[in-house]
Amino acid sequence: MTPTPPPPGPLSHQEVFRRTARRVLVVGLVLAALALAGGGVTGGQAWSGVLWGAGAGAVLTIVTAAALAVPWDRYPLLASSGVMISFAAKIVVMVAVVVLAGPYKASFSAGWFFASLAVILLAVTAVEVGSL
């Protein structure tokens, strides 16, 4: 006979944030993969646009999940700056996307770029807010 697990109790803050990090990571990366599949089927400028948009969305998802997974309770003096560190990293990612994609903007579909990026960011935000 297998032992029964202990009854579920309230989760610690760290468990809630790590669970949210996993959910955010799964949702963001699955949506990026679906966007890439859709752009790949369409081809041409749509593929290029979704490659930039889903790529940026995937990197921003990883930044969000990493910020949620850090055990901030171990670093109480840095805990309040965790949000700002995440925000600064996201700004760096978007500046890099603008700088790197700028020379190629005529070769990709802006609609596919913004649609894939927006869907990923909105879904990740909804999962993050809903889970916390």
Beta carbons of 59 and 93 less than 8 angstroms apart: yes
pLDDT in tens, 89-121: 999 999 999 999 989 889 989 999 999 999 999
Q: For the chain, give every domain's residue range.
A: 13-131
Phi, psi dihedrals of residue 75, rounded to the nearest 5°: -125, 70
d(CA 122, CA 102): 24
Q: Model's pTM, two decimal places?
A: 0.86
The predicted-structure confidence for 42-70, as pLDDT tens digits, reads as follows 989 999 999 999 999 999 999 999 999 99
Better-scored residue on pLDDT, 8 or 14: 14
- Cβ atoms < 10 Å from Cβ of 83: 11
